[in-house]
Structure 1
Amino acid sequence: MSQLPSGNGVPLVRGGRWLLAGWSLFLLAGFALATSVSPDPRGFGTHQQFGLPPCTLRMLAGVPCPSCGATTSFAHFVRGEWPSAIRANGAAFALACVCLVQIPWSWVCIAKGRLWSITRPERTLIITLFTLGSLFILQWMVWLTFGRN
């Protein structure tokens, strides 16, 4: 039977510091990218400013997809317009919050050489992904039932 690691969090594996540094820089780049677009006033469609096509599900079926408004939400989030970010896509707002928290957390982990406050990383990952995925699906069900706005 394996024992839980002692101390506050699991020690980083070889290359873990580099992985966390890269991850935090990737997240920072994502937030920087969100500052480069203006939030679409419709609450969705901001991604088209990157040259991407309109949402396929909206075009073909006339309904929003679960991530509809996510780019708009991030564009509002980085500007501190949090009520607008939540209106655009509340689940994406939750994702943005998780991403924001991970940046300083990554650097604390790098400094400590441990996954700070994480004793079971696989469990933490599964719970985080399940929770965020559930938020996106639940929100989508509400949109399909009652309309998007």
Structure 2
Amino acid sequence: MAGAAAVWPSFTASTGAGLPCPLRALIGVPCPFCGLTTAAIALVRGRAETAFQANPLIFGLAVLAVAVGPLVALRAFGVMSGPRPWSSHRQRRWGQVAVLVAAASWLFQLHRLGVGRPSLRII
């Protein structure tokens, strides 16, 4: 993820290609994950405040990305055993947490981009 965030700005600058949010492009409403590319690039460049302003979810995703690599390596070398299956209750609970996080992120994006706010016009 860090490698992609480091290379992406150069790629978009040289090609003009970008990844628009499909939901925002279709109906003008941002998705809960809008701003994650911008946030990842800002975080890789050491601009934590800019990353937070684009999408605070990036910090949780960064922690997961950093934690997953060593876990996979430790399990691959047999140092740690594989994960145990989750109970249906635990799956349901974490599903609810994921929905709440996505909803909070969506509210943040709607507020950040001013969706639903009347625009001020000076005549």
Say whether the fold is shared (TM-score over 0.5): yes
2:12 matched to 1:36? no
2:32 matched to 1:104? no
Query: Deviations for 1:29-70, whole angstroms, at most 9, x for unmatched residues?
Result: x3211110239xxxxxx8xx7834522322333221111011
- Residue 70 of structure 1 contacts residue 89 of structure 1 at CA under 8 Å; is this kept in 2? yes
Greater share of strand residues, 1 or 2?
1
TM-score by length of 2: 0.63
**1:33 partner amino acid:** A
2:113 matched to 1:148? yes
TM-score by length of 1: 0.54
- Extract unaligned runs of 5+ from structure 1: 1-29, 40-45
- The sequence identity of aligned pairs, in percent, is 28
Candidates 57, 64, 82, aligned match of 1:91:
57
How far did residue 86 of structure 1 move? 1.8
- Residue 95 of structure 1 contacts residue 132 of structure 1 at CA under 8 Å; is this kept in 2? no
Equivalents in 2 of 1:88, 1:113: separation in Å? 36
Equivalents in 1 of 2:34, 2:105: separation in Å? 10
RMSD: 3.2
Equivalents in 2 of 1:84, 1:57: separation in Å? 23
**2:73 partner amino acid:** W
How far did residue 129 of structure 1 move? 6.0
**1:114 partner amino acid:** S
